[in-house]
Amino acid sequence: MNKVILLNKRPVGKPTADDFKFIEEELPVAMNGQVLLKTLYVSVDPYLRGRMSSAKSYIPPFNLNEPIQSGIVAEVIESKNPDFKVGDHVSGILSWKELQVSDGNGLMKVNSSAIPLSAYLGILGLTGLTAYLGLMEIGKPKAGETLVVSGAAGAVGSVVGQIGKILGCRVIGLAGSDEKTKMLTSKFGFDVAINYKTTTDMQSAIATAAPNGVDIYFDNVGGEISDAVLANVNQLARVPVCGAISVYNETEVPMGPRIQTTLVKSSILMQGFVVSNYAAKFPEAIKQLSIWLQEGKLTYTETIVHGFDQIPQAFIDLFEGKNEGKMVVKI
Amino acid sequence: MNKVILLNKRPVGKPTADDFKFIEEELPVAMNGQVLLKTLYVSVDPYLRGRMSSAKSYIPPFNLNEPIQSGIVAEVIESKNPDFKVGDHVSGILSWKELQVSDGNGLMKVNSSAIPLSAYLGILGLTGLTAYLGLMEIGKPKAGETLVVSGAAGAVGSVVGQIGKILGCRVIGLAGSDEKTKMLTSKFGFDVAINYKTTTDMQSAIATAAPNGVDIYFDNVGGEISDAVLANVNQLARVPVCGAISVYNETEVPMGPRIQTTLVKSSILMQGFVVSNYAAKFPEAIKQLSIWLQEGKLTYTETIVHGFDQIPQAFIDLFEGKNEGKMVVKI
């Protein structure tokens, strides 16, 4: 039998184990033109929380009692499609199933000899693309500028900071534990890292860390942390808004200081985005990220959880900040 | 003697007559290289409120006990500068004085034969430039899109809406009285105008007026009106943030729903600006606005108040919405 994870109910507030349902189905069979795929690595990402609610968003919500989907690296174990052969590794948006069939649409072959397979869910997958394209297309960093990254120890944030350093920026990371801030400066080369959980006055901590003010704020979290950064931005600052994990689980829209006056006073650009807005630039971005990776200029952290049954809990743990870097489940 | 208006104290909340001081000084004398200017028209604008406070902003604050400055059209009544002759009309950022000298820096000669002089403080001045450049550079309107303008009966808003119509957009204006909304549809050609003071559910009123959603929101006001518009924006909407007159007089930063999640969900661009960001494009913008004006495609409304002594009150009245279109004081 084939294990499958369905959306059992739409989370209210923080997701819980109860929102997911495990079932077993008949083993799938590849028809002509199809391949049979064995799931190797499953990506769990904060954005999936959005698809679990029924609210209108940039991608359609998951249906109740249907399999959840996310980025997956799989192995072709049977092929009735001439484009793929047994043993090929592929990545794509696939279902949370141990085995599944695909007609090959949307699958990308990946090379497992040069880099570990899990990297295709992270630094060379949507995570790396999100970091690179959000920073380059909206942040437009210039050497000598100051870049602040929130959620800096997360999968996207750690890549954003490293790219900032490669491009000659002063980079300040905000994260929620001393282990994380230590990692940001020692492993990822951030100039300064601030633990927002132990810092009482974030606004002045950022002012101290950014004596020339903040030119780019890559916002992964929203909320009060962002208020503190926005109080320190320079004229013509750019704010790519990548996520707002601090409020994804809120059942009512949280209140905060209105930002229109700040935007006008300093001519700030603030832009929400999802990586698919820049799909046309994926090849160029993957090429650049691969070069930096092979040159040793980019590094990454993964939290790898083991076992198909652990997928829901790994997702839930994202909202507790239990991951360092990209959270991946190895089957 | 020469009448001058100084900043007496920094307004707290709404400006009052007491914040201004009238003095008389010796008549100014033009030295070599200078011209003597007689003030003809004085522009009063909401942005001056920002310069009256000491908070850091995009232009330095006015000093206490020094003359206030704004856009002025003046006549050269004596010239010791070869670039100007007696009788020339000029516009520039000048002091609230009946007479003043200038070395000619920053003065632009204007042609009073083709269009009324006051237009150079409005539709062909910073007002028109703000409308044109904010809409074109940030809003990037395309034919068939829906444009919502708040503060639509104001000097900037009425020009934004007309440009939107020229470019083929569906244009919805938000204003605070039935006379204003009537003027928006009858005089300025807006498709729909909504009186936010008499409409109880702005969010659904906008939804009804914009059946295809909102692609561009030109925000002149901020506050709850903006919340209602932002609840109706489409994917990839653009929001030029031109002003936040609803909160300029607040002594504490007002609270409202946090917008980061909205920005991410719909990939919205929100950008504060001041017209000087686009100074390089002024000539091209004035050229286009002049063409539309001469073709009769653009019209404008002025509220002209008479008398040098009325300048402070005209400014104060802006915050009561007493103006229709550009507020100008004729000396």
Nearest to B247 among A235, A258, A267 (CB): A258
CA distance A155 to A210: 23
> Encoding tokens for residue B111?
């042609």
- Closest approach of chain B CAs to the CA of A296, in angstroms? 32
State CA A239 to chain mean position distance: 17
User: Does residue A233 or residue B58 have the better pLDDT?
Assistant: A233
What's CA B7's distance to the chain center, in Å?
21
What token pair was written down for B314? Answer: 């005209």
Contact at CB, A241 and B264, closer than 8 angstroms: yes
Best of B138, B221, B264, B265 to mutate (most A CBs within 10 Å, chain A):
B264
pLDDT of residue B245: 58
Query: Pick from B50, B260, B273: which is nearest to A222 by CB?
Result: B260
Q: Which of A263, A268, A269, A275 to mutate to test the interface with B (most CBs of B within 10 A)?
A: A263
pLDDT digits 0-9 by tens, A135-173: 999 999 999 999 999 999 988 999 999 999 999 999 999
Query: Are the beta carbons of B248 and A264 separated by less than 8 Å?
Result: no
Rounded Cα distance, B322 and B45, in Å: 13
Provide, as residue numbers in chain A, all residues whose Cβ is less than 8 Å from the Cβ of B55: 265
Exposed / middle / buried, residue A38 (Cβ in 10 Å: 0-12, 13-18, 19+): middle
Prediction ipTM score: 0.78
The residue among A266, A209, A213 whose CA lies nearest residue B56 is A266
Which stretches of chain B sit within 8 Å of chain A by CB? 50, 55-58, 219, 222-223, 226, 235-236, 241-244, 247-248, 253-274, 277
pLDDT band with cut points at 50, 70 and 90 for residue A60? confident
Whole-angstrom distance between the N-terminal and C-terminal Cα of chain A? 16
CB A67 within 8 A of CB A95: yes
Whether A158 and A325 have beta carbons less than 8 Å apart is answered as yes
CB contact under 8 A, B258 and A57: no
**pLDDT of res. B72:** 96
User: Could you tell me the pLDDT band of residue B250, with boundaries at 50, 70 and 90?
Assistant: low
In chain B, what are the helix, strand and coil shares in percent, each to the nearest 5? 30, 30, 40
Query: Would the pLDDT of A276 be above 60?
Result: yes
Integer distance in angstroms from the first to the last C-alpha of chain B? 16
Is residue A78 scored above 90 in pLDDT? yes
pLDDT in tens, B95-106: 999 999 999 998
pTM of the model as a whole: 0.81
All structural domains of chain B, each given as residue ranges with its CATH number in brackets, are 2-122+301-330 (3.90.180.10), 126-276 (3.40.50.720)
- The reply to whether residue B266 touches residue A222, judged by beta carbons under 8 angstroms, is no
Can you give the pLDDT at residue B112?
A: 79
By C-alpha distance, which of B95, B94, B76, B88 is closest to B35?
Answer: B76
Encoded tokens for B2: 């020469």
Structure tokens at A41: 């690595």
Q: List residues of chain A with CB under 8 Å from any CB of chain B.
A: 50, 55-58, 219, 222-223, 226, 235-236, 241-244, 247-248, 253-274, 277
User: By the 8 A CB rule, do A57 and A121 touch?
Assistant: no
Using a CB-CB distance cutoff of 8 angstroms, which residues of chain B are in contact with residue A277? 236, 267
Q: Do B262 and A242 touch (CB under 8 A)?
A: no
Per the CB < 8 A criterion, the answer to whether B103 and B34 are in contact is yes
List pLDDT tens digits, range B280-323: 898 899 889 988 998 999 998 889 999 999 999 999 999 887 88
